[in-house]
Structure 1
Amino acid sequence: MVSPKALIKRLFGSESSQALEEEQTQDARIGQLKREFADHPTKGLTPAKLYQILEAAEQGDLKAQSELFDDMEEKDSQIGADLGKRRQLAAELEWQIVPPDNATAVEKRATEQAIEVFSALEVEDLILDLGTGIGHGWANLELSWQRDGAMRYIEQPTHRPHSWFRLHTDDQNCITLRDMSATGAELWPLGWVQHRHRAKSGYVARMGLHRMLAWPYLFQNYALGDLAQLLEIYGLPARIGKYPKNATEREKATLLRAVVTLGQNAAGIIPEGMAIDFTEAAGKGSSADIYKTMMDWCERAKAKAILGGTLTSGTGEGTNTNALGNVHERGQTSLIRSDVRQYAGSIRKSILWPMAALNFGIEKAGRAPRFFLDTGETEDLERLSKSLPTFVDMGAKIPSWWFHEKSGIPKAQEGEEVLMPKAAPNPFGALRLPASKPPLAALRQAPTQPGQPSYYRDATLEQLDDQAQPIVDAWVNQVQQLVEQAESFEQLQEMIATAFDDLDESELASVMAIAFEAADLAGRATVDEETGNAD
């Protein structure tokens, strides 16, 4: 039996036990991160500065790029709204935790404990925090472990700012915590949810969606700034001051101040002999349209990158059809499905498996409980109920898990109360054979022959009933069973023909022979009585 400490060390490394006792960011070498203020690199952002920030990130310094990405979400309403929608659509989905396939009793108990732990968490906040990885390409949430007797469990994971981290100088895919060293401190096993979100391929510094949005953000800021300058004087005519040839420098300065004052306060004075002309600016409308065209292009580019289309973000043109809008919505839905699968993978790997290993000794991540977010993408139940039986009758081998996934109906676990199907009515339910009468019942009702004592007939019939009735009853019961089993009249006909094809009539023939012989003797006895030869 492997001890819990040895199992933890073997599965998660030597520093994993330290993460169970304290948070890594409480270390004095890391404490300075909590006192940092953002540099807001978007202030005075230029193409040259943006290039330097992106290049530094590729060399391991993620701080400026992370702060740039945070500023972009905060200052750009389009980026903030579209990314917020994508994260919120995933966070509002219903979650569930299920055991692995063919789960053992231990794996089922691990699942029950995981459900109990997650029921006490703010799962929606957890998904929103993981969703920050869409823009950055990754997100790190610090875990806080607690103990309930022998059981280990986590409290609400804490999202740590992306600017607290850097890349290891020797490995561009290894994220470390910034400290006083050149490479950074390696993240403790069991201490973090290390989520890598592949919005695009590449190594860590280039995986984030914000890398694609940085340039449209910059171009739009330039266009917006130029448009703001244009609007600052939009509607105000150009002011031209005229001074006489012999005007002194002092008089020229006085005229200039008057021209500027007219632009700000619409009032001013000038010396006599000088004049100010107001002229209409040429091409004002066309200049504004140029800036607006650039801004519209940037808005559409950002919407396509984040949501996969423009019609679900309010940036589409008014001529788009409803059908095209549905296409864009399906594209957005596929992105959400991809997001939730990536969230579920990180939660299982960094939370569910460690809890299952610590508390129940489950060593393989593939046997840990599974986390799901229900996207609600199911087939129409009415259409599924009509088409599925057809394919099954054709011989299609359709697994039951596929039906549960497409229908959205959860698979019942062992011991759960389930709905039972209504008993299908037998097409021959109304066809019931009447209770069989004694084979010679009709003879009992027949009148006796003139002069024949009734006791002769009664004795003969009773003897025949006793011997023939079991044989007839067996036939009747066999026919009744065939009626209950048959699903159609044609099938019943075939079943009866098959069952009675080699019917054994010898027993009934013997009984009838005895009956005829008895009847003959009874007749002779009657004759003897009538002729007086009874002796």
Structure 2
Amino acid sequence: MSKGIWVSPNEFVSFAELKRPSKEVIATRSRVNGSLGITGALPNPDPVLRKMGKSIQVYRDLTADAHVGGCVRRRKSAVLALEYGFDRESASAPVSDFIDKVFAKLRMRTLISEALDAPLYGYTPLEVMWEDIDDRIVPVQVVAKPAEWFFFDDENRLRMRTKDNKDGILLPERKFILVRQDATYENPYGIADLSRCFWPTTFKRGGFEFWLKFTEKYGSPFLVGKHPRNTHNSEVDALLDSLEAMVQDAVAAIPDDSSIEILEAAGKGSSADIYERLMMFCRSEVSIALTGTNQTTEADTTNAIAQAGLTVSEDIRDADAELVSEAMNTLARWTVELNFSEDENVPVWSMWSPETIDKTLAERDQILKTAGANFTNAYFMREYNLKEGDLGEQLPPSAGMGYPSFAENPQKHDPIKAAADQLSRETQPIVDGWLERIRYFAEKSKSMEELQERLLEEFDNLPEEELAQAMASAFTAINLQGRDEVNHGH
């Protein structure tokens, strides 16, 4: 009999059951703060929106500012410049081909740009338009909808406000893809980067207004009119009107017993610089909030600071690309579940920098080719995004790998000479003098270990990649030499 306790006259609970972790959610808003109403509408905790009592529309108005709009464009362009596509991974060929065809018909650039509104406003709902085409349910369009139409309830579920239901309605499944930046349980709305730009932009606009007034007031010289002490007020007013007209037209008529003196506003330049420094500071704050660097707004930026700023910008770009990738993979998963099975593996959509990936892929392929791999033109077209006609006829394996045909007549074909010729082609970037030393070491060495030690001693100052290429070439030569000796009974 199991050990336990009676929690009631009719209920016995074993100690094993008491040790099991609870599956119930304990920490909830309703338990801590009480009910938030019928729908449990959760207000956006954004500090700017909460204090001002406004919607996300106030952030949309910020993009009309030239500097804010430029930073937004730059940030989106950094992601849009990336390459993107699917990696089949463990997905089946029919599933992979189907997903490729579906996404090829979507307006991907527009979709990516709209998904990138999420870092700006915190969250962006993308509505998926489904249609039945050829007995398949496919997304034909994905459209970003205004974030202010939606809100979250106390269970962090997305709801939409309607004219018939101000409390909001729950959204159907597989209809809206929610893209959010740094969303948490406490803040399901995400973090809006434009909230960090609100006050700097507001202060910049105010400073610009005062700067214009200051320039108008102190940028032009003062005209001082002098009149006799007992002059009547009407004549003084007439003199002031003449001075005002003179400022605009440089022409004035004054009595012959009056005079005009021009005074320059000396010493006001340093005061005017205060407004300029304020605006430049505000511009820098906006640049840092949106792009991670202020190198484009600081005149005294050094190259080291610029490079550091560029690295931060790449980090932000990669984070934005991850948000887009998550949304695309959600759409791909829904499409596969609706048309195949929920157990089917789904291809993975991602974004990458073409220079980095191509270099890494090329280095990997070079190593595999040296090890004996024989790639097809179809592989190069797929992996390097080449087009029909970019590649010529593929070389045969013997020519591609440098292995001569040992079935040929040894009198007509010298395998050692063929190996030396191939070595010359493969090590063209390396100093030509290495070839003679490699051939010498290959002939004199009695074992692979001895050959390796001689090469390491000879080329210890070479870069690792060049040393590896030299050693691989020497190993190929001595291997061919051994085969030739066996074939000829030496």
Match of residue 80, structure 1, among 69, 84, 88: 69
In the other structure, the counterpart of 1:315 is 297
How do 1:231-250 residues align onto structure 2 when only pairs under 5 Å count? 231-250=215-234
Cα displacement string for residues 246-265 of structure 1 (whole angstroms, at most 9, x for unaligned residues): 34444444344344333344
In the other structure, the counterpart of 1:70 is 60
Gap runs ≥5 in structure 1: 1-51, 393-403, 411-416, 435-483, 501-535
Q: How far apart are 1:147 and its partner, in Å?
A: 1.1
Partners of 1:409 and 1:420 in 2: CA distance: 21
1:98 paired to 2:77: no
Preserved contact between residue 145 and residue 154 of structure 1 (Cα < 8 Å): yes
1:179 paired to 2:162: yes
Cα displacement string for residues 336-369 of structure 1 (whole angstroms, at most 9, x for unaligned residues): 22211210111211x21221111112257xx333
In the other structure, the counterpart of 1:378 is 357
In the other structure, the counterpart of 1:152 is 137
Deviates more, 1:338-347 or 1:254-263: 254-263
Q: How far apart are 1:139 and its partner, in Å?
A: 1.4
Partners of 1:427 and 1:146 in 2: CA distance: 58
Q: How far apart are 1:196 and its partner, in Å?
A: 1.0
Secondary structure of the residue aligned to 2:177 is strand
Preserved contact between residue 159 and residue 169 of structure 2 (Cα < 8 Å): yes
Cα displacement string for residues 110-149 of structure 1 (whole angstroms, at most 9, x for unaligned residues): 3222211221221111111111122112212222211113
In the other structure, the counterpart of 1:143 is 128
Q: How far apart are 1:303 and its partner, in Å?
A: 1.9
Cα displacement string for residues 427-451 of structure 1 (whole angstroms, at most 9, x for unaligned residues): 98889599xxxxxxxxxxxxxxxxx
In the other structure, the counterpart of 2:278 is 294
In the other structure, the counterpart of 1:361 is 341
Partners of 2:121 and 2:361 in 1: CA distance: 43
Q: How far apart are 1:53 and its partner, in Å?
A: 11
Gap runs ≥5 in structure 2: 1-43, 372-378, 386-392, 413-475
Partners of 1:177 and 1:89 in 2: CA distance: 32
Partners of 1:388 and 1:382 in 2: CA distance: 10
In the other structure, the counterpart of 2:326 is 345
1:487 paired to 2:479: yes
Partners of 2:394 and 2:348 in 1: CA distance: 22
The number of equivalent residue pairs is: 367
Preserved contact between residue 134 and residue 199 of structure 1 (Cα < 8 Å): no
State the structure with more CA Rg.
1
Preserved contact between residue 378 and residue 408 of structure 1 (Cα < 8 Å): no
Partners of 1:56 and 1:310 in 2: CA distance: 23
1:335 paired to 2:319: no
Secondary structure of the residue aligned to 2:265 is coil
Cα displacement string for residues 32-73 of structure 1 (whole angstroms, at most 9, x for unaligned residues): xxxxxxxxxxxxxxxxxxxx9964734996xx3422211211
Partners of 1:149 and 1:277 in 2: CA distance: 88
Secondary structure of the residue aligned to 1:121 is coil
Considering only aligned residues, what root-mean-square deviation do their CA atoms show, in Å? Answer: 4.5
TM-score, normalised on structure 2? Answer: 0.62
Partners of 1:90 and 1:84 in 2: CA distance: 10
Secondary structure of the residue aligned to 1:143 is strand
Q: How far apart are 1:385 and its partner, in Å?
A: 5.8
Match of residue 106, structure 2, among 110, 117, 121: 121
In the other structure, the counterpart of 1:57 is 49
Partners of 2:214 and 2:184 in 1: CA distance: 38
